[in-house]
Amino acid sequence: MTAAESSSVRRRRDAFTLLELMVTVVLLVIVSGTGILAVQGPLARATMDRAITQIVAADAAERSASRRSPDPGRLLQVDVDRLRYTRSRRVLTLPRGVTVSRLWVLDPAATVREVGELSFATTGQTLSYGIELSGPRGHRDQVLILGISGQAIHDRDGSIARSLLQGLGSPSA
């Protein structure tokens, strides 16, 4: 074997073939695609949790501002992704991909009705109410806020709201 032939054989061994490179790229695409799909669910859940946390904090701030003011506060649904709290002067923009599906109240006659706004008394109390959110990847969550105490219940699958509404003889949530 001559020096030129030996060099040619060695050069072929030092490089990858096109087939080897293509197989590597396909494997990388499969692994990264699987990783992305595995992360999307938890990210969507975290986005919904952040929206619920923002709503609960804004509710607490509005209750506090209403207690300090002679005028009652109000919660208004401005848009599908924005809520406005008048007394605390907050406009809450929900995280990207999260929208308000329904805002409903449980009135003193124990009937549930959808509303576009809610009043906060100067004592900081409201009617018990719920906000249903739609989020990324089809997630639907509800936050139920009890009127007198302001305690918030995060209802991930709607089961609490459904059992409450069925117990009252109202249409299912």
Number of structural domains the chain divides into = 1
Let me know if residue 172 belongs to a domain.
Answer: no
DSSP annotation of 15: S
Name the CA radius of gyration of the chain, rounded. Answer: 28
Q: How far apart are the C-alpha atoms of 123 and 71, rounded to whole Å?
A: 10
Question: With 60 as the cut, is the pLDDT of residue 39 above it?
Answer: yes
pLDDT band at 50 (very low <50, low <70, confident <90, very high): very high
pLDDT of residue 173: 43
pLDDT of residue 28: 92
Let me know if residue 173 belongs to a domain.
Answer: no
Q: How far apart are the C-alpha atoms of 5 and 90, rounded to whole Å?
A: 78
Let me know if residue 11 belongs to a domain.
Answer: yes
- Looking at the DSSP assignment, which residues form a beta bridge with residue 61? none
pTM: predicted TM-score of the whole model, two decimal places:
0.74
For residue 149, the enclosing domain spans: 3-167
The arithmetic mean of pLDDT across residues 152-164, rounded, is: 79
pLDDT of residue 7: 58
Let me know if residue 68 belongs to a domain.
Answer: yes
Let me know if residue 152 belongs to a domain.
Answer: yes
pLDDT of residue 22: 92
Among the residues of the chain, which ranges form H helices? 3-14, 18-68, 159-167
pLDDT of residue 163: 74
Number of other CB atoms surrounding residue 128 within 10 Å: 19
Q: State both tokens at 81.
A: 């992704």
Cα torsion 149, 144, 94, 72: sign:
negative
pLDDT > 70 in the chain, percent: 87
Q: Are 105 and 118 in contact (CB under 8 A)?
A: yes
Question: With 60 as the cut, is the pLDDT of residue 168 above it?
Answer: no
Let me know if residue 137 belongs to a domain.
Answer: yes
* Cα separations in angstroms, 30 against 17, 33, 66, 83: 20, 5, 55, 41
Instruction: Give the contacts of 43 (CB within 8 A, at least 6 positions apart).
Output: 136
CATH of the domain at 124: 3.55.40.10
Look-up of token digits 């009890």: 146
Let me know if residue 129 belongs to a domain.
Answer: yes
Let me know if residue 156 belongs to a domain.
Answer: yes
With b for 16 or more beta-carbon neighbours within 10 A and e for fewer, the 76-112 pattern comes to bbeeebebbbbbbebebebbebbebebbbbbeeeeeb
